[in-house]
Structure formats: C-alpha cells, structure tokens
Structure 1
Amino acid sequence: MPDTMPTADAAADAAPNTALPGPGALDGLRVLDLSRVLAGPWCAQNLADLGADVVKVESPDGGDDTRKWGPPFVTEPETGRRDAAYYFATNRNKRSIAVDFRQPEGLDLVRDLARQADVVIENFKLGGLRKYGLDVESIREINPNVIYCSITGFGQTGPYAARPGYDFLLQGMGGLMSFTGLPDGVPGAGPMKVGVAVCDLFTAMYATTAILAAVVHREKTGEGQHIDCALFDTQIAVLANQASNWLNGGTVPQRMGNNHPNVVPYRVYPVADGHIIIACGNDRQFRALMGALGAPELAEDARFDSNEARVTNRDAIDAIIEHLLKDTPRDAALQRIEAAGVPCGPINDVADVFADPHVQARGAMVEQTDDTGLTTRSVAFPARLERTPASYRRAPPRLGQNGAEVLSDWAGYDAERVAALRRDGVI
C-alpha cells in the first residue's frame, strides 16, 4: 500500500491499452447489430473486441439514442460533431450504416445484410420487427442457419412479454432494489438502484455467452438457433446468494446498507479522515484483523470466534471495530490491515480509479483516434486471452460512417447502386 493514494491528476498519465489489431478468436464472424442503447450494443461490442466484424444498423434520424444521452458530449475538432460520452462506452470496433428500413429499398438492404450475417442481435419490443420482415422467422427464410439473439425486457413468452423494459424498472421488479439501500429507520432509508445499469450489462454478458455457445453448436451441427434473453430473467439470475437465502433458507433479504447478509465483518468502516472497506471472508482473516487493530483477544471471544457467531453479534463487533479505527487515518489503517493479509481498500471515485497505479499497469484504459483526429477513451475488455486477446481496431463510428464499405463487403453493392441509395435518402 503506498504512503499516499494516487491523485485524480495522475489519470492523465495513465498508459492506455493499445492492443494491436490482429485476428481475434472470432475473426470472420459477421454480426448484424440491430440494437441500441446498452444491453444489445454491449453484447455486440464484446463480440467485436474478440474479432467479430460487427455492423451497427442505425436510423438516419439521429441514430442510436445514446448519441444524445448527454451531457457530457464529445466534440470533434474539425466538424464540431457532438455525440454523448455514453455512446462511446459501448460502440467501438463496429461499423455504422444508417438505413431507413421504413422505405422498401432500405428494408431490402438490411435483409441483404442479414443474408450474410452469422449472428443478428436485436432489442426491439416483442414483435416490433415482424412488420418489417426482420423477425427471426423471416430472417430464417433467407438465412436458415442464422443465430438470432433477441434481447427484451421480459422475454418472448409469458404475460409480461409485450411490456417495454428498462434497467431501472427491472432492478425493482427483479428484487435487487428491495435489498439495496439503507435499512429502515436510518436517514435516507429506502429502495435504491445500483449506480450503473447492471441489469442491462449482465443481460449483455449472458447474451454474449449464449451467442458463443450457439456458434460452437453451429460449428458442430450446422444449425442456427433463436436466443431469447430477457432483462427480467437476468436480474433474477444474478440475485445469486440472496435468491438462495430465500429459496433454501426461507429468508427474505432486507436492505442492509453496506453490510453483507452472510459474512461479518464485511462492510464500510469510518476512519479519522474518511472511510475504508474491510472484507473478512473467513475466521483466519478475522483473527489477523484483530491482531492488526491491537485487539487479538477478541478473536477468542465466544461472541466472535466464528462467522456464525459474528453474524449473530454483528452490531457488537462492528461497534468495536469502529472504535478501534476512529482515530486512525485512512492510509495508515489500510497499510496496517493489508500487511496482516486482510482484504481491504479505499472507496475511490472514478477519477481515483483511473489514477490508480494497478489500474494503469493493467492497461484498463483504451485510447483510440478516428479518421477526423478525434481521440476518445474507453475501458478495456477485462479478460486477458493469452492467444487471442481483445483488440481495438476501430473507434466508435460516426452515424452512417461505413455505409458504402459495408454494402460492398457484405452485400456486393457497386458504387453506382450505393450512390443511388444515398441520393434517394435510403442511407
């Protein structure tokens, strides 16, 4: 643990991850991304980072909604183009084509792209693409072995299937908000959503996993398949131990603030100049913590000598730890506890995160410059593959930036046909 924590200014000196372009694990896989906002685009970006050729289809009327979800905005130095920072989080390594598929020529164009796709990803409301002939049944008629992934709020079946679904709503309906937030009786108590759209992101990760499983299945059998991913299903799945506490123990989880329902001590503790996190996962770590805090005898106290006992006597041990830490500065407390081998850490803001020397050493930041000279940053693909690492080949595209090349590469359109489509306002 360093004597002083890194400053936010150090983030500017972080060495960006500049993984060189190369054939990734999914090189040659063609993905048609008909999705927008977060869950679908995040899934498609995962595949793109691993080498897939991802074509993002957007409406010419402003494109993906997240291009407007600001401030903050990113401004191009030459043209003054402004897209929201949100958009840049989830659309690298893609090519964009802007198509009005409400026009017959535009619809034909998207169907021509779908003929060539290995994977189609969409997150329209239930049945929303059927009227255009872009639903799974229609695409199967022209591409029988396609892998078609539908991401919706509530899935393709069930009484809620037709409802729209947003992350915030599903965090509430799926149980997460019922045990997130301060407990009743404490100022500020009440249900609380997580500060990032975790339901969208988890759904994207499950969708990515399912698509990769479907790719393996198709390699073995030649069969494509329809993947039905619902935010509601995902949110229930990631209740994890809290769901198991109810299903197998009959315990309905309650809001506990930063406390853990099953492990003690495992929470935020105040120190002289702020707060720290201590996370004792076993009795050995608890004994080490008590030694580091100058109270080794407490590890032998019958109220605290096992995790079960500490859960029962949670308030007592938490009060003792707070007393032992109250006059200790943050960095000194962390040095002492970490030296004893007990998991602990500061509570960083995002600026602190990217200034952290370990984050910099891991190359967690990606820096990309597009053909206009605009440089943007995003967070690197977190899994480090030894043989086929993620690569960062394309900055997030401008709306419709790659229409001509996509139509040539995927559908074989010549320059004259592309020019006519552009003249007619189709692209």
Structure 2
Amino acid sequence: MSGPLSGLLVADFSRILAGPYATMLLADLGAEVVKVEAPGGDDTRSWQPPVRDGISTYYLAVNRNKRSIALDLKDPDDLAVARELAHRADVLVENFRPGGLARFGLDYPTLAAANAGLIYASISGFGSGPKGAALPGYDLIVQAISGLMSLTGSPDGEPFRAGISVFDVMAGMHATIGVLAALNARHETGLGQHVEVNLLSSALSGLVNQSSAYVAGGVVPTRMGNSHPSLFPYEPLPCSDGDLIITAGNNGQFRKLVEVLGVPGLADDPRFDRNEKRTANRAVLRPLLVERLSTRTTAEWFPEIIAAGVPCGPINSIDGGVAFATEIGLDPVVTVGSTPTVRNPITFSATQAEYRLPPPSLDEHGAELRAWLTGKETTE
C-alpha cells in the first residue's frame, strides 16, 4: 500500500543532518522528496570514514528515498529550475542561515505569493531574530550553550558531548511534526504557512526534567555521571563481570527487584520504602544491591530480573544493539538497493513506511527532474 504521505512533493533545500533527517522521515512515509544540492554536493558526502562502497555512511544514514538534483543557485537557468520546483512543492525544507534564500527569491513570502499552499519549514541554530540569526548553528555548539554538556560526564570530570548530534536529530523530528501539523491546517484553510524550528529551542524542550528543574524549581542541575537526580536505582550496577542497567522506577518494581536479589526486607526498610527515600539514601542502598549483584554475571541476572518485571539491560556496543533488536523481532535493518539502512521507527497498521530508493548519488536524477520541471520532457 502507498505510504500515508503519498502524493506530496517535498523540495529539500537542506543539508548535513537536521533537515535531511526530517525529509527522509517524510520520504519514508510516501512523500516524493527532491534533494537539491549545490554542485559540490551535501557536505556529509565527504564526512568519512566510515564508508560503504566509497560512500560516507553519515550521508547514507539520512538520505534514502530521495532524488538528487545539483543546482547552482547563482546560475540563472538553475535558479529557474529551483523556483519551479518550489512553486510545485507542497513542502519546502531548508536550513540556510535565516534569510539566506531571500536573495534568490526562494524565501517564504516570495514563494507563498505564487504557491499559497506551500508549507515552508526553516531549521536554524538559534532562530531568525536579529541576534540569533547571526549565529552559526552546529549541534556541538548547542549542546554546550543549552547546558546539555554540563549534565554529561562524571561529577568530578569535564563536560562531555552526547555520542550523537542529538539536537540535530531532535530538531529534525520537531520540523517533521511542524510540517505535518501545518499540512493538517492546510486541509481546513487551503493555505500553507512558515514553520520555524531552531536547535536551541529544541534542546531546551528536549532537556525536559532538567530544564524544568531550573525554570519551575529554581534548581540548576549538575553532572551526576550515570545517576538520575530523581530516581534510584536508575543506573548501571556492577555484577561479577560488568555493569547491568537497572531501572526500578516505582515502589512495586523496587520490591520485585529486591525479591529476585534475595533481600526482600529492603522493600520495607523505612530508609528505602519510597522513591524519595531511596534517592536520598542511595549511598547506603547502592552497596547493598551491589553486594547481591556481584555474586553472578550480567548474563545470569538479566533474564531473571526481566522475568520479575523490573526493567534492566546490558550495556551494548552498537553491534550489540542491532543484534538485540534483531533477536526480539524488530528487524532494524532494511536494504534499499544494495545499501543497508536503519528501518524507519514508525509502524502503521495500514499504510507502512516505504523503502523505494537508496541514497542518491550527486545529481543522479538531475536530467529527468530538469526535463520535468522545465516542460522539456522527451518521449521515445
């Protein structure tokens, strides 16, 4: 069956990660996405290693189900093609510096005058205001400025970045949500609108309980390593051969945990009978749990603790994560053409995600797209 967004045309003027991730999600759901690249190509084409068949795996991660056309917006003919694409599109996604496309007549007010139904999504680092627009937006900078790095790492160590560009991904998802909401509004009004997302706002929203601790509670959170500020146990705990993540998020789960560990009395100990007490007395409780856990391996404890109804898990490398997802039937890898990619995470009961096209080579579809957009299609 066709995907839920079949029939929509998306003009993708974005590059790197946040925008391409958003447009890939739309493409997976059935939208026709045209990736507009500068003649030199998306920067991530050269972000290597690692590679597959000489192609950057970074680029491969976020560009399936798209058609590529290389356009030099400074060239009048190419610019005319870009404008025609924007005039036909249902959605346009861009992550130029705020206002950067205005000099080409590809800004929202100009395009909306000719295409009133256009959903125009802009992704920036710090918004389009006078001060934010001047700042270049890179995920690492936002991890630093937002406060995330102040929360990541050991309490007595240096701040660390997250292992992925977490706010690029988050902003891409927020942009996708905004596009879908604007498309729904278009059903009622017939009109498109300008959707704006910036990495810093996505970051502050995505910091959830940590940003709320400050804005609602006046508390500035600090690094706690792998510990949680409001829950215990909710962290790695050592077994005889390594650490096991254990998350007893409520009193019932804690009771089940201590029962399977063979120390059921801890659940009724007045120092530990409620979460806030366990959190306050973690320095006393942790050694008692570790004493029991250290008698067996992670592989021995994992199935028993899970069977008892307590969330837990080993600390895997990426290969282990993919293997575990495969083992439990999530089928995390789909091969598009000859390129293995990670499956879209959304499952529908009727209109499934589609995997039609592998990530395109630069300008792979340029000739056919130019012919279609200029009306110079040929017939054999």
TM-score (norm 1): 0.86
Using the TM superposition, give the Cα deviation of residue 360 of structure 1 relative to its aligned residue in structure 2, in angstroms.
6.0
Cα deviations across residues 209-263 of structure 1 (Å, max 9, x unaligned)?
Answer: 0000111111111111011110011001111111222222222111011111111
Give the match for residue 308 of structure 2.
340
Does residue 54 in structure 1 map to residue 29 in structure 2?
no
Structure 1 residue matching 2:257: 3-state secondary structure = helix
**Which of 127, 139, 147 lines up with 2:99 in the alignment?**
127
Give the match for residue 282 of structure 2.
314
Using the TM superposition, give the Cα deviation of residue 335 of structure 1 relative to its aligned residue in structure 2, in angstroms.
2.2
**Which of 215, 234, 250 lines up with 1:266 in the alignment?**
234
Runs of 4+ aligned structure 1 residues displaced above 6 Å come to: none
Give the match for residue 204 of structure 2.
236
Give the match for residue 404 of structure 1.
367
Structure 1 residue matching 2:369: 3-state secondary structure = helix
- Within 5 Å, give how 1:370-385 maps onto structure 2: 375-385=338-348
Give the match for residue 184 of structure 2.
216
Give the match for residue 159 of structure 2.
191
Give the match for residue 87 of structure 1.
59
Cα deviations across residues 109-159 of structure 1 (Å, max 9, x unaligned)?
Answer: 100111100111000012211222211122223323211111000111152
AA of the residue aligned to 2:90: D
Structure 2 residue matching 1:128: 3-state secondary structure = coil
Structure 2 residue matching 1:377: 3-state secondary structure = strand
Say if 1:31 and 1:121, in contact at 8 Å, map to a contact too.
yes
**Which of 73, 84, 104 lines up with 2:51 in the alignment?**
73
Cα deviations across residues 372-423 of structure 1 (Å, max 9, x unaligned)?
Answer: xxx111111111011111010111111100112223344423359xxxxxxx
Does residue 175 in structure 1 map to residue 175 in structure 2?
no
Greater shift after overlay, 117-126 or 331-340? 331-340
Give the match for residue 351 of structure 1.
319
Partners of 1:155 and 1:396 lie apart in 2 by 29
Say if 1:180 and 1:193, in contact at 8 Å, map to a contact too.
yes
Structure 2 residue matching 1:361: 3-state secondary structure = coil
Give the match for residue 421 of structure 1.
none
**Which of 32, 38, 41 lines up with 2:17 in the alignment?**
38
How many residue pairs match? The answer is 379
Unaligned runs of 5+ in 1: 1-21, 76-81, 370-374, 417-427
Structure 2 residue matching 1:356: 3-state secondary structure = helix
Give the match for residue 102 of structure 1.
74
Give the match for residue 126 of structure 2.
154
Give the match for residue 11 of structure 1.
none
Using the TM superposition, give the Cα deviation of residue 84 of structure 1 relative to its aligned residue in structure 2, in angstroms.
0.5
Unaligned runs of 5+ in 2: none
Cα deviations across residues 156-188 of structure 1 (Å, max 9, x unaligned)?
Answer: 11522221110011011112111111112xxxx
Say if 1:271 and 1:326, in contact at 8 Å, map to a contact too.
yes
Structure 2 residue matching 1:252: 3-state secondary structure = coil
Partners of 2:325 and 2:64 lie apart in 1 by 25
AA of the residue aligned to 1:203: A
Give the match for residue 329 of structure 2.
361
Say if 2:125 and 2:200, in contact at 8 Å, map to a contact too.
yes
Partners of 2:216 and 2:278 lie apart in 1 by 22
- Within 5 Å, give how 1:290-301 maps onto structure 2: 290-301=258-269
AA of the residue aligned to 1:282: N
Structure 1 357/396 Cα, relative in aligned 2: closer, same or farther at 3 Å?
closer
TM-score (norm 2): 0.97
Select the structure with the greater relative contact order (CA < 8 A; seq sep ≥ 6): 1
Structure 1 156/357 Cα, relative in aligned 2: closer, same or farther at 3 Å?
closer
Cα deviations across residues 60-106 of structure 1 (Å, max 9, x unaligned)?
Answer: 22x0001110011222xxxxxx3211100000000000111211111
Using the TM superposition, give the Cα deviation of residue 349 of structure 1 relative to its aligned residue in structure 2, in angstroms.
0.7
Give the match for residue 227 of structure 1.
195
Give the match for residue 64 of structure 1.
42
Using the TM superposition, give the Cα deviation of residue 336 of structure 1 relative to its aligned residue in structure 2, in angstroms.
2.2
Partners of 2:35 and 2:376 lie apart in 1 by 18
Structure 2 residue matching 1:51: 3-state secondary structure = coil
Say if 2:125 and 2:138, in contact at 8 Å, map to a contact too.
yes
Structure 1 72/324 Cα, relative in aligned 2: closer, same or farther at 3 Å?
same
Structure 2 residue matching 1:324: 3-state secondary structure = helix
Structure 1 87/175 Cα, relative in aligned 2: closer, same or farther at 3 Å?
same
Partners of 2:262 and 2:182 lie apart in 1 by 55
Structure 1 residue matching 2:116: 3-state secondary structure = coil
Say if 1:353 and 1:359, in contact at 8 Å, map to a contact too.
no
Question: Aligned-residue CA RMSD in angstroms?
Answer: 1.5
AA of the residue aligned to 1:135: D
Structure 1 residue matching 2:133: 3-state secondary structure = coil
- Within 5 Å, give how 1:245-256 maps onto structure 2: 245-256=213-224
